[in-house]
Amino acid sequence: MEQFVEFAGNHPGLFLALGIVLGLLVWSFLGDQLSGIKPLLPPQATLLINHENAIVLDVREDKEYAQGHILNSVHIPLSMLSDKIGRLEKYRNRPIIASCMSGNRSGRACSMLKKNGFEKVHNLKGGIIAWQNANLPLTKAKN
């Protein structure tokens, strides 16, 4: 223990960096749980879609969406979500799974939904990339 204290005293920058990295790790693991947003892996998302009638909200831009999306997903680009959130009102009592390419934009969409009173909000962890890596289908048909 004495050596640890001496090391920390001799290298405060490294000790501070270690503290920041550990803090970020804890935040990344607990952040979603504290916010009430539940991350879902693709297999969990398919169960929610098939058994609880969940809605998939795709927040990618038009061009990305046209390249392939989850069947029956509702498409509202993140940049337009605050203006068009009313389109989701009819789904308020159903689980909503937000998706994007990698899971980052959909996380912001989940936060917007929670702030607007939606309770059953989930983020597709890894986004469409994870969906494809799980060998789940995409469609190019217009919904």
Please write the tens of the pLDDT for every residue from 18-28: 778 776 666 55
- For range 109-132, the mean pLDDT: 96
Element (H, E) at 121: strand 121-124
Residue 117's Cβ-count burial label (10 Å; 0-12, 13-18, 19+) is: exposed
Residues 7 and 73 in one domain: no
Residue-level length of the chain: 143
Whether pLDDT at 42 is above 80: yes
pTM (predicted TM-score): 0.78
Residues 69 and 5 in one domain: no
Q: How far apart are CA 73 and CA 25, in angstroms?
A: 32
User: Catalytic positions, please?
Assistant: 100
Taking all residues of the chain, what is their mean pLDDT, rounded to a whole number?
89
Q: What is the pLDDT of residues 49-101, one digit of tens each?
A: 999 999 999 999 999 999 999 999 999 999 999 999 999 999 999 999 999 99
What's the pLDDT score for residue 3? 78
How would you classify the pairing of strands 74-75 and 121-124? unpaired
Q: How far apart are CA 129 and CA 132, in angstroms?
A: 5
Residues 120 and 50 in one domain: yes
Domain count along the chain: 2
Show the domain range for 26: 1-35
Of 131, 130, 123, 129, residue with least CA distance to 107: 123
Q: Residue 58 sits in a domain of what CATH number?
A: 3.40.250.10
